[in-house]
C-alpha cells in the first residue's frame, strides 16, 4: 500500500477589481447571464459566460424543471451551446456566478461534479486547459487553470474513443 497526496493550485482574488481587465469583464458577463435563469423552485440563479478563442462570449444560465432532475446547470448550458454552435472555436476561459434573494452568498459558488466532468471533456476535446473563474457578486474570485486541479480523478477512458 502507498499513500498519495493531491494538491490543487488556484488563485484567490479578494475583489473582482484585482483581476486583469479581460477576466473582470468575463465575470461581469456571467452576471448578465443571471437574468435568463429559470429557477422558480430553488430561487438560486446561476450564470455562466464562456469566452472562446475568437473572442465570442457564450452565455448559460441554470434551467430548472418541475420534474426534477430534468433541468440543467448554467455551466453545461453554456458549454453545450459553445460545442454545438461553434465547434473548433476553443474555450479560453469561463466565469460562473450565482445569486439568491433567500440568503447572502458570502463566497464564490463552485461547479457541481457533473459540470466539472463536462469541463474536463471539453478540455480533452480541444487539447488545452482553460481558466475557470468562480465569482462571488461584488466580492472575491477563485481562479483555477484547468479543471484537473478541481477534479483530479476525472473520468477519461481512451478505450471508448473511436478507433
| 69 cis-preceded (ω within 30 degrees of 0) | yes
State the DSSP code for 9.
-
DSSP string computed for 61-101: E-B--SSTT--B-HHHHHHHHHHHHSTT--EEEEEEEEEES
State the DSSP code for 111.
P
- What cell was used for 100? 439568491
Widest CA span in the chain: 51
Active site residues: 75
CB 75 within 8 A of CB 60: yes
Q: Which residues share a beta bridge with 39?
A: none
Amino acid at each position: 500500500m502507498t499513500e498519495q497526496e493531491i494538491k490543487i493550485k488556484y488563485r484567490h482574488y479578494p475583489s473582482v477589481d484585482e483581476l486583469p481587465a479581460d477576466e473582470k469583464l468575463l465575470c461581469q458577463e456571467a452576471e448578465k447571464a443571471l437574468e435568463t435563469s429559470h429557477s422558480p423552485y430553488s430561487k438560486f440563479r446561476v450564470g455562466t459566460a464562456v469566452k472562446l478563442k475568437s473572442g465570442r462570449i457564450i452565455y448559460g444560465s441554470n434551467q430548472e424543471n418541475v420534474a426534477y432532475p430534468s433541468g440543467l446547470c448554467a455551466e453545461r448550458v453554456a458549454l453545450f451551446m459553445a460545442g454545438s454552435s461553434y465547434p473548433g472555436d476553443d474555450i479560453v476561459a469561463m466565469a460562473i456566478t450565482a445569486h439568491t434573494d433567500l440568503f447572502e452568498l458570502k463566497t464564490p459558488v463552485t461547479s457541481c461534479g457533473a459540470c466539472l466532468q463536462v469541463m474536463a471533456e471539453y478540455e480533452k476535446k480541444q487539447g488545452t486547459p482553460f481558466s475557470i473563474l468562480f465569482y462571488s457578486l461584488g466580492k472575491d474570485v477563485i481562479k483555477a487553470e484547468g479543471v484537473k486541479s478541481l477534479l483530479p480523478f476525472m473520468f477519461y477512458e481512451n478505450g471508448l474513443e473511436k478507433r
